[in-house]
Amino acid sequence: MDPDFRGDSDHHDGTSDATPGGYPKQRRPGELGFAIFLTVASLYLLYDAYGISGFTALSGAGSIPMATTFVMAVTALIVGLRTARLNKVAGETIANDILPVMVILFIGFLIVFGLLLKPLGFVLTAALFLTVSIKVLAHKGWGYTLAVSLGSLVVIWIIFRVVFTVLLPAGILPEAEFIQFFRNLFSGGAS
């Protein structure tokens, strides 16, 4: 995807949670915009927090929300001002380093997943998602793609739906009847 991949040796992409990305003395493309967005959003949340209970009482439901959103707004503003004074990193662009096509594509996949989950049901949506994304990423034949995606889906489905009885959205598949059929099969065999 990215030919001049910088690897994990320098942490500008935030390779782990304890070591976030960014450069100490330079700003990445979009960083200032992000900071401005955070400042504006924090200010709006501060206004919203004020609306909860105002300044009526120290014990009001809005006291802590107001305090935290105030801290958010101030720190976001400081970050924004500091960022504005830095020089841009040479050679980085949003399209290459922050939001490559593949990332946008997958964010799109996830949104579609969220939208289809309820009407289509978990099994079909997940099958679709796994197949398409493995196909896109692995560049392998359909046989391989389908085998891997459906195989792992069956394992996940059995663990969550059958063993832990998590009621994943059934959608258009008659999932419950299916399970009941096998349950009857077993109990029928036992009795």
Partner 1 sequence: METLMAILTIFTQPQLLLLVGIGTFAGIYIGAIPGLSVTMAVSILISFTFSWDVLPAISLMVGIYMGGVYGGSRTAILLNIPGAPSAIATAMDGYPMAKKGEAGQAIGVTTVMSFFGGLIGILVLALAAPFVSEFALTFQPRDYMLLAVLGILLVGSLSSGSLVKGIFAGAFGIAIGAVGRDPLTFAERFTFDLRLMEGGISFIAVMIGMFGVSEALQQLQNVNMKAVRQKIDKIVPSFGTIKKFLPLSLQTSSIGVIIGALPGTGGDIAALMAYDHAKRVTKNPEVPFGEGAMEGLVAPETANNAAVGGAFIPMMTLGIPGDAVTAIMIGALFIHGLNPGPMLMIDQPDMFWFIVGALMTANVFMLIFGLTGIKIFTKIVEMPRSIIIPLILLLSIVGAYAVNNSITDVYWMLGFGVFGYFMRHYGYPLGPVILGVILSRLLDDNWRRAIISEREDLGRFFEGIFTSPLSLVLFISVILIFVSQTPLWTSMKKRLFRKATS
Partner 2 sequence: MSRKLIGALVALGLSATVATAQSYPTKEIQGIIQWGAGGSTDTVMRSVTPHAEEALGGTVVMQNMTGAVGAIALNYVVDADPDGYTVLMGAENPMLYKVMGLGDEDYSAFTPINILARGTAMLVANNDAPFDDYAGMLAYIAENPGELKLGATGPGGLPSVITAMMNTVEGELDVISVPYDGDGPALTALQGGAIDVMPAVLGAAIEGIRAGNMKPILVFDTQASAALPDVQIATDANAGYATYLPWGPFFGVFAKNGTPEDVIEALTAAYAAGAEHPDFVALMDGRGFTMMNISGDEANAFLSKWQQGTAWLLDDAGLTKASPEEFGIARP
Applying the rule CB under 8 A, the residues between 62 and 101 that interact with partner 1 are 62-65, 68-69, 71-72, 75-76, 78-79, 82, 97-98, 100
- Residue 166: how many CB atoms within 10 A of its CB? 11
Q: Which of residues 105-124 bind partner 1 (CB under 8 A)?
A: 106-107, 110-111, 113-114, 117-118, 122
Shortest distance, position 183 Cβ to partner 2, whole Å: 7
Tell me which stretch binds partner 1 (CB under 8 A): 14-22, 174-182, 183-191: 14-22
Residue 4's binding partner out of partner 2, partner 1, none, with CB under 5 to 8 Å set by partner kind: none
| Amino acid found at 67 | A
Q: What DSSP state is assigned to residue 170?
A: -
Residue 178's binding partner out of partner 2, partner 1, none, with CB under 5 to 8 Å set by partner kind: partner 2
Which residue, chain included where needed, has tokens 């419950």? 176
What does the longest C-alpha to C-alpha distance in the chain come to? 78
Q: CB of 39 within 8 A of CB of 73? A: yes
Q: CA 50, CA 65: separation in Å to the nearest integer?
A: 8
User: How many residues at the interface with partner 1, by CB under 8 A?
Assistant: 79
Binding site residues, partner 2, CB under 8 A = 165-167, 174, 176-183
How many residues are there in the chain?
Answer: 191
